[in-house]
Amino acid sequence: MLLIDKLRLQQDLTNTEKRIADYILENLAEIPAINVADLAKNTYTSHSSVIRLSQKMGYEGFRDFRVAVSEIAHSDLYRSNPVDANFPFLPQDSTKEIAKKIADLTINTVQRTYAQLDDQILDEAAALLANAERIFLFAQGDSQIRARSFQNKLVKINKFLIIADEYADEDWNAASLTSRDCAIFITYRARVPQYERMLKHFLNENVPSILMTGNSSSNLIPLATQSIVFSQEELDFIKVSTFSSQIAFEYILDTLFSLLYAKNYQENLADFKKKNKWIENGILSDNPKIE
């Protein structure tokens, strides 16, 4: 989870620590130049309270914490126009204003997601997919649409993905996976009991699995071989649509596809050109050219 989100959520903070967190969020531009004494004075707290907040945020002391806050203050993420992920537009907004806000939301979501990605986890997830004989993707609702997009891309590099939930055959599909396959789970809240049972089964049978979720405290995370975790400012139910979570899923899946493609770039490009020729002008074309 991003530091700025931890400061906003204020989970497990005392009232004193919340006051310091609120001050930091309201004065981000000033924090890079502030010291412990001034921060304690400005928030009517103490040195020890500032240090405890720094440690709860995951840092050894205030110096490291201040550096991290400074990066937020100078980042593109902070400078982007803020958009409510749940209600990104208002009924009185013009067409141009709505279009601009959705553009800003898309940019902000990708930037937030990118800031939370781990290179090593992405590389290891891509390796699991590259080595898999079969890929089964488990996703429901809006997330299954992202699965179809990923499925369509993988075909171009001779990787064939099965959407496991598509015909309510997810249990049979889960039972069919072997250690030579790979399962992907896309679930933002990661609160699906059925997925928990499947992941436990895969763990017992040494079936590689990848979990993509926005819930950093999900009990599914330790069950997966690799977990790609990112958070967005999206509420469970009260929202216009699942804009942010689905943009993030699409971005991560596109990144995984790109990593797979890059592993055998020249081979994939040559194979694409050959097949495209068959489809456009060859035997698979509506109007094949006779040579």
Instruction: Tell me the pLDDT of the chain averaged across its residues.
Output: 89
As to burial, measured by CB atoms within 10 angstroms (0-12 exposed, 13-18 middle, 19+ buried), residue 144 is: middle
Q: Are residues 130 and 264 in the same domain?
A: yes
Whether 177 is covered by a domain: the verdict is yes
Whether 281 is covered by a domain: the verdict is no
Host domain of residue 97: 81-115
Whether 288 is covered by a domain: the verdict is no
Q: Supply 163's token pair.
A: 């959407």
Write out the DSSP string of 222-238: GGSSEEEE---S--SSS
Do the beta carbons of residue 247 and residue 255 sit within 8 Å?
no
Whether 290 is covered by a domain: the verdict is no
Q: Determine the straight-line distance between the first and last CA of the chain, rounded to whole angstroms.
A: 59
Q: Are residues 25 and 124 in the same domain?
A: no
pLDDT for 172 equals 94
- Please say which residue of 28, 50, 78 terminates a domain: 78
Q: Are residues 126 and 66 in the same domain?
A: no
Q: Are residues 155 and 243 in the same domain?
A: yes
Q: Supply 230's token pair.
A: 């990112």
Q: Which CATH number goes with the domain that contains 270?
A: 3.40.50.10490
Q: Are residues 106 and 123 in the same domain?
A: no
Q: Are residues 92 and 147 in the same domain?
A: no
Dist. CA 96–CA 117, nearest whole Å? 32
Write out the DSSP string of 71-100: HHHTSHHHHSPP--SSS-S-TT--HHHHHH
Which among 218, 233, 160 has a CA at the least distance from the CA of 185? 218
Q: Are residues 64 and 128 in the same domain?
A: no
Do the beta carbons of residue 174 and residue 204 sit within 8 Å?
no
Whether 280 is covered by a domain: the verdict is no
Indicate the range of 17-26, 67-76, 133-142, 249-258 predicted with least confidence: 67-76
Q: Which CATH number goes with the domain that contains 24?
A: 1.10.10.10
pLDDT for 81 equals 63
Dist. CA 208–CA 33, nearest whole Å? 47
Alpha helices in 13-118 (DSSP H): 15-26, 36-42, 47-56, 62-73, 76-79, 95-116
Q: Are residues 111 and 121 in the same domain?
A: no
Dist. CA 158–CA 132, nearest whole Å? 12
Into how many domains does the chain fold?
Answer: 3
pLDDT for 80 equals 52
Dist. CA 10–CA 3, nearest whole Å? 11
Whether 207 is covered by a domain: the verdict is yes
Whether 283 is covered by a domain: the verdict is no
SS3 211: strand
What is the per-residue burial (b if ≥16 Cβ within 10 Å, else e) of 157-179? bebebbbbbeeeebeebbeebee
pTM for this model (two decimals): 0.76
- Please say which residue of 29, 52, 78 terminates a domain: 78
Span 226-278, pLDDT tens digits: 999 998 777 777 788 888 899 999 999 999 999 999 999 999 999 989 998 88
- Integer CA distances (angstroms), 119 to 17, 122, 255, in order: 32, 5, 11
Q: Are residues 34 and 46 in the same domain?
A: yes
Span 13-52, pLDDT tens digits: 999 999 999 999 888 878 888 899 999 999 999 999 999 9
Q: Are residues 131 and 205 in the same domain?
A: yes
Q: Are residues 62 and 180 in the same domain?
A: no
Whether 61 is covered by a domain: the verdict is yes
Q: Are residues 100 and 146 in the same domain?
A: no
